[in-house]
């Protein structure tokens, strides 16, 4: 099996990830922040080191602003439902994943908020910015942006949209599921208030681990409440981050693995990894464009590409290619808005997402398989 | 020499305080501390030798935005 589904989760994981994660089984198995004994303290130190490593990678001023979550979806739900109040207005993009679209729609259906969808123009950041500006209202509390499309590999003008949100007194939430660890994100340059991360993707942590980077003093109401390991006699969650938003036992194995992932990314360099992946993606795109009856969507700047074979749905093509030994993702990728934006809401697409461990030979093998498959009869 | 004990509201702040103090050469250790947070329950403290300049320690913790629950001098190491 040739794995080309790194936008779902990166695989394989670097050796450093496995080395760090295994430490939990041998010496860091206790529950961090839940006791004073040495192993619990050592585990807590490891978790804090992971917070420091993430904060440094994203130039987040305070490590306690790193809130670990089950995954990026949980981070986005926490940000959205923790920030919004009845009567608020929200702006989202037309490329959002369901992890943004569904919670926003759910709050809207409950009669709590209103929202608008700003149409992204992949060919024009100016048009995209203008679309966001047109959606802003006096009661806009939150602007949410899918930084990088999980279907089409586009990158949205986050810095400009963040500035627009701040100019109008709104908070800016960046969904960096596909960009965290994949391209540099510096919060001193792109001062997003909240950043949701899928740490098991671009930062190679074991699944499932996400984080919400909190770069604001705005109050966020916890979605989960329970044990925090401190101030236990209080009937409410402690006020300070990250414990305010982290009820229950943390996934120490995944967090330890994250330390190895950050180490790997720092050693290789985010830029170098991205260049390597984009070389593979260009090889793939150029090759697909040479094959008759193939439709390639857009010109990705992230290592994610969608295509279709004429006469076949994305789901069908991915299933057939799976039988030929390729791990791809067909269908709608939990992103109906994105598919409507690109006009693929009826067919879906086949998504290829290359990773740092893929090779030119593997890409060539996929291209040969697509050629052999040929068009369908739809 | 008697230590002084800086109670903080979370393990995260305790480790942050410990690391910040150690980074400038001040011996500091995280300890479980339930005495000064009896009203609210479990907490953590950072134990610093009593011969360290207390004002300097407080300045460092303030620069790091570490919230303190209590500071007690003259306490022996737990």
A63 contacts in chain B (CB < 8 Å): 12, 16
Instruction: Give the bridge partners for A56, in sequence order.
Output: none
Q: Would you say residue A377 has pLDDT above 70?
A: no
Q: A296-355, pLDDT tens digit by residue?
A: 999 999 999 999 999 999 999 999 999 999 999 999 999 999 999 999 999 999 999 999
Q: Is B42 helix (H, G, I), strand (E, B) or coil?
A: coil
Of B11, B16, B19, the CB nearest to A230: B11
What are residue A140's DSSP bridge partners? A89
Q: Per residue in A164-187, pLDDT tens?
A: 999 999 999 999 999 999 999 999
Provide the 10 A C-beta neighbour count for residue B16.
24
pLDDT at A233: 85
Q: Name which of A244, A232, A240, A373 is nearest A307 in CA terms.
A: A373
The span from the CA of A219 to the CA of A53, in Å, is: 24
How far is the CA of A68 from the CAs of A4, A140, A254, B3, in angstroms? 27, 27, 10, 34
Residue B75 confidence class, pLDDT cut points 50, 70, 90: very low
Is B63 at the interface with chain A, CB within 8 A?
no
pLDDT band at B33 (very low <50, low <70, confident <90, very high): confident
* pLDDT tens per residue across span A109-142: 999 999 999 999 999 999 999 999 999 999 999 9
Give B-chain residues touching A62 at CB under 8 angstroms.
Answer: 65
Distance from CA of B62 to the nearest CA of A (A): 13
Q: How far is B31 from A128, CA to CA, in rounded Å?
A: 52
CB of B12 within 8 Å of a chain A CB? The answer is yes
Q: Is A65 on the interface with B (CB under 8 A)?
A: no
Residue A344 has phi, psi (to 5 degrees) of -110, 25
Residues of B in contact with A238 (CB under 8 A): 9-10
Q: At residue A94, does pLDDT exceed 80?
A: yes
Q: Percentage of residues in chain B with pLDDT exceeding 90?
A: 51
Q: Taking CB atoms and an 8 Å limit, are A230 and B41 in contact across chains?
A: yes
- What is the mean pLDDT of the segment spanning A12-24? 97
Which pLDDT score, from 0 to 100, does residue B76 have?
44
Task: Measure the CA–CA gap between A271 and A267, rounded to whole angstroms.
Answer: 11
Chain B closest-CA separation from residue A212 CA (Å): 16
- Model confidence at B36, pLDDT cuts 50, 70, 90, reads low
Which residues, 6 or more positions from A368, have their beta carbon under 8 angstroms from its beta carbon?
A: none
Phi and psi (nearest 5°) for A316? -65, -45
Single pTM value for the model: 0.95
Computed from CA positions of residues A277, A278, A279, A284, in that sequence, does the dihedral angle turn out positive or negative? positive
Query: In the prediction, which pLDDT does A69 show?
Result: 98
Res. B77: pLDDT tops 50:
no
* pLDDT of A77 over the 50 cut: yes
Chain A residues whose CB is inside 8 A of the B41 CB are: 230-234
**A233 CB burial (10 A radius; 0-12, 13-18, 19+):** exposed
Burial class (CB within 10 angstroms; exposed 0-12, middle 13-18, buried 19+) of A110: exposed
């Amino acid at each position: 099996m040739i794995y080309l589904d790194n936008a779902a989760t990166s695989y394989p994981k670097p050796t450093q990830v496995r080395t760090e994660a295994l430490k939990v089984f041998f010496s860091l198995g206790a529950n961090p922040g839940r006791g004073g004994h040495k192993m619990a303290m050592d585990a807590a130190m490891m978790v804090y080191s992971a917070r420091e490593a993430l904060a440094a990678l994203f130039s987040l001023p305070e490590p306690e602003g790193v809130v670990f979550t089950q995954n990026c979806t949980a981070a986005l739900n926490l940000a959205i439902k923790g920030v919004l109040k009845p009567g608020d207005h929200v702006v989202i993009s037309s490329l959002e994943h369901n992890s943004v679209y569904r919670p926003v729609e759910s709050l809207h259906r409950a009669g709590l908020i209103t929202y608008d969808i700003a149409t992204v123009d992949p060919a024009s950041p100016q048009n995209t910015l203008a679309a966001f500006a047109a959606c802003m209202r006096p009661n806009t509390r939150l602007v949410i942006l899918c930084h990088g499309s999980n279907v089409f590999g586009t990158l949205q003008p986050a810095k400009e949209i963040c500035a627009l949100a701040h100019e109008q007194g709104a908070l800016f939430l960046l969904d960096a599921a596909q960009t965290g660890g994949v391209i540099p994100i510096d919060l001193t340059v792109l001062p997003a208030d909240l950043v949701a991360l899928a740490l098991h993707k671009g930062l190679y942590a074991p699944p499932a681990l996400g984080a919400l980077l909190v770069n604001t003093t705005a109050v966020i109401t916890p979605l989960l409440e329970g044990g925090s390991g401190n101030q236990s006699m209080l009937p409410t969650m402690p006020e300070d981050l990250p414990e305010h938003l982290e009820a229950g036992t943390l996934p120490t194995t995944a967090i330890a693995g994250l330390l190895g992932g950050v180490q790997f990314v720092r050693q290789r360099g985010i830029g170098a990894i991205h260049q390597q992946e984009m070389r593979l993606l260009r090889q793939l795109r150029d090759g697909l464009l040479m094959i008759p009856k193939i439709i390639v969507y857009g010109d990705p700047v992230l290592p994610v590409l969608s295509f279709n074979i004429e006469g076949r749905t994305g789901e069908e093509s991915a299933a057939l290619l799976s039988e030929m030994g390729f791990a791809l993702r067909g269908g709608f990728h939990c992103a109906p808005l994105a598919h409507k934006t690109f006009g693929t809401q009826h067919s879906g697409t086949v998504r290829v997402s290359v990773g740092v461990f893929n090779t030119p030979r593997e890409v060539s093998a996929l291209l040969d398989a697509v050629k052999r498959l040929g068009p369908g009869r739809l | 020499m008697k230590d002084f004990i800086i109670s903080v509201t979370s393990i995260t702040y305790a480790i942050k305080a410990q690391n910040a103090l150690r980074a400038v050469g001040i011996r500091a250790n995280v300890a479980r501390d339930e005495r000064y947070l009896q009203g609210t329950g479990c907490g953590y403290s950072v134990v610093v030798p009593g011969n360290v300049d207390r004002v300097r320690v407080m300045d460092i913790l303030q620069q790091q935005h570490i919230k303190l629950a209590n500071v007690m001098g003259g306490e022996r190491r737990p």
